[in-house]
Amino acid sequence: MTVAATIDSAAARRAMIDSQLRVSGVNQEPVLAAMAAVAREDHVPAAARGHAYIDRAIPLDSAHALPAPLVQGQMLALAAPQPGERVLVVSCGSNYLPALVEAMGASVEVASAAEAAAGKPGSVGFTLLLIDGAIEQLPQALVDALADGGRVITGLVRRGVTSLAQGSKLGGTVQLAVVADIGIPVLAEFAAPKGWSF
């Protein structure tokens, strides 16, 4: 990468923070510091590097997309991952969100959307679950991977509308509450079974 490209990327990160995050209420310094430090352009396809910081989702392949920076900023602001905390990130196909969580000092494990939806999230005992996309249902295997009292921050899709949602594990279950409607790419792996309705 040339010096000019490095400077341009740093300027783009500052502009993202000032014109997308701060004006939308994401002002937590640990979040902003992580988003200033992690090069988003390193986590998108080569053809998208020049517009890695735009305020919309970036397609990663035919089925997945990297959410807009504001989505991940709001997720991290809600989650407030702590140094040393065990965090499970369900990936959209990009390691940008895991890199941000690591920059905040947490210990991160990553599961692909396919692995997580198939009930193979890896180990257990996580205190925070971040899902980098919108889901229709939260598989029990992901609930089981959380310690009691563990937090969940995810996108949620209901009747075609995507929202940011949060919840905590209590008594072996998680109830998700909508925080705000926002455009979040849908993870088709977490689609609810289709049933008959009358």
What residue segments make up the domains of the chain, in order of their start?
Answer: 3-190
For tokens 């072996």, what's the residue? 172
3-state secondary structure of 17: helix
What's the topology of domain 3-190?
Rossmann fold (3.40.50)
Q: Which residues pair with 66 in a beta bridge?
A: 58
Q: In the predicted model, is pLDDT for residue 4 greater than 80?
A: no
Q: What is the pTM of this model?
A: 0.92
**pLDDT at 163 exceeding the cut of 60:** yes
Q: What pLDDT shows up at residue 120?
A: 78
Contact in structure between 26 and 32 (CB atoms under 8 Å): yes
Residue 8: its pLDDT value, please?
84
Percent of the chain with pLDDT over 70: 94
Residue 87 predicted with pLDDT over 80:
yes
State the average pLDDT for the chain.
92
Three-class secondary structure of residue 124 per DSSP: coil
The rounded distance, in Å, linking the Cα atoms of 87 and 107 is 6
